[in-house]
Amino acid sequence: MSSDTDSVLGRIITETTDYEFKVSLEETKPKSWLKSVCGFANGIGGMLAFGVNDDGIAIGLDDAHQTADKISELIGARIDPCPNFHLSAERVDGVVVLLLDVPAGRDCPYFYVGDGTQVAYVRAGSRSLPANASQLRTLSMRGAHVHFDELETQYKREDYSFDILKATYLQRTGDPFEESDFISFGLATRDGALTNAGVLLADQPILRCNRIFCTRWNGLDKTRLDDEVSDDHEYSGCLLRLLREGTNFVERNNVVSWAKTDNDRVETPSYVARAVEEALVNALIHRDYGIGGAEITVFAYDDRLEITSPGGKVDGPLPQNADLEHVDSVRRNPVIADLFQRMRFMERKGSGLKLIRDKTAVAPNYEERFMPRFEDDGRSFRVILWNMNHSTPQVAPQVAPQATPQATPQVAQLVEVLGDDELSLAELMDRFGLTDRKYFRKAYLKPALDSEAIEMTIPTKPTSSNQRYRRTRK
């Protein structure tokens, strides 16, 4: 048993996005927490802390040993297949809590079995929800260790043309695309059946999901008025055609200005072409083609360009303020990714997001406020490139609200009320005249901490009874 009060519990409060607190073990209603275990195993993993209240305060368990035995028993009896998990007891502020760590599973899908039902749960933000048909297919492929683009289809190689692929491959590599390459690159089987990768690279639009929508909205947001759309196209067919047409669309809407220097003048584009290409390539090769009714969209507004692809990051949502130097690249469609790398549309080391920012940052008209933004809500991935020739401050809507001192009135109010003092949670709530601790943490305290508008006086011990909050010291 650990006595380190700021070890695991402190870290999950401040760093981990997938965790839940439980005051006690609900034996009569095990579904209330087992569906989270199921969702963690079907996702990127997560942790449940028993003996901790909703405010993250450790209150302890009466009999941690008996509770641990019951947790193990219920997981084995109610989740099929039984996922890997690790239970540990930890002493925090003089009481014992149990930490249930559930890593991402390899035998998906995992089902909760009980009450006459069998349901696979997946994580959606802080909730565990029943998986839909598309998510079940994805989980099944993950459990079978196969990918969508590797799967064999009923379509025959001989019935479709691949002129765009052959011409692009020759242009980009200098080598002809041989008939044997369909098999060696994973686009077709020896029996002549196309894989999904081959289907997506055929000239003909075989799959309905293989489309891209490009729209130039006149203004800072969408409108339903026809005269507010100046460039609107839908493209389908070969992925390489979609890349070409998406690139051409952005070029048509990429206003290039000029800046004078002492001896010359330089071009100042709205968007850096190489950053745009990388964002489009990422959207095409990493999208979840199993999601029906969703398409890749390229929306240009007066102040920004948004490229959105169905399906979040494969190994879990991209954390806010992630260090792009250390973001692993997990391929959703490895066959397609390998072919795009052969044609030098992308790099093998998986540095696409960093490349987008780096290429944008070297533009002559770049300012820090134009740094590209990446949004991942688990259902889609969005790249936002700012129009560097647009002078109005950016006000793009967020996929999931990301608090900053200017983003919410509550954060600004908390900073003002805090002043130059160092106050406890109770003292802060007293100044606001609020009594609902859970609401105050969610609406005021957490957004202010996330945005770094305020800080803890004891950051290594978030649950300490001596914890105070103050304005962030720059």
| Structure token digits, residue 28 | 């009569």
Which one of 3.40.50.2300, 3.30.565.60, 3.40.50.720, 3.30.2420.10 gives the CATH number of domain 211-386? 3.30.565.60
Closest CA to 35 of 101, 129, 134: 129
Per DSSP, helices labelled H in 403-450 are: 409-418, 425-432, 437-440, 446-450
Interatomic CA distance for residues 407 and 256, integer angstroms: 31
Encoded tokens for 420: 């130059």
Block means of pLDDT (10 residues each) for the chain, 474 residues, are 45 55 87 92 88 84 91 93 92 88 90 89 81 82 84 94 96 95 96 95 90 89 64 91 95 80 75 94 90 85 93 66 59 91 78 86 90 85 92 50 49 79 84 74 80 79 77 73
Distances in Å between the Cα of 449 and the Cα atoms of 373, 430, 455, 472 are 20, 19, 6, 9
As beta bridge partners, residue 234 has 213
CATH superfamily of 8-132: Schlafen, AAA domain (3.30.950.30)
Q: Count CA atoms closer than 13 A to 405's CA, side-chain side.
A: 9
Helix 64-78 to helix 31-42 angle (10° resolution) is 70
Kindly give the interhelix angle for 163-173 and 239-252, rounded to the nearest 10 degrees: 70
What was the pLDDT predicted at 323? 55
